[in-house]
Amino acid sequence: MSNLTYDEQKKRALSLAEYIIKHKATVRATAARFGISKSTVHTVVTK
């Protein structure tokens, strides 16, 4: 699965969630901003 530690995963999830809320961004826009796939954004913020 992921090579990130628990703390890194948590930090990543919070960064993505904060960006989505602050900018009222879609998953697609968030993925583009962070240079990751839409599926990754969805998976990270829903787990």
If you average pLDDT over residues 15-33, what whole number do you get? Answer: 97
Token pair recorded at residue 19: 């960006």
Using a cut of 0.85, tell me whether the model's pTM lies above it. Answer: yes
DSSP symbols for 3-47: -S-HHHHHHHHHHHHHHHHHHT--HHHHHHHHT--HHHHHHHHH-
Q: Alpha-carbon torsion 11, 14, 20, 21, what sign?
A: negative
Comparison of pLDDT for 12 and 3, the residue scoring more:
12
**Domain boundaries in the chain?**
6-46
Quick one: pLDDT at residue 1?
47
Comparison of pLDDT for 47 and 17, the residue scoring more:
17
Quick one: pLDDT at residue 11?
96
Task: Sort 37 into a burial class: Cβ within 10 Å, 0-12 / 13-18 / 19+.
Answer: exposed
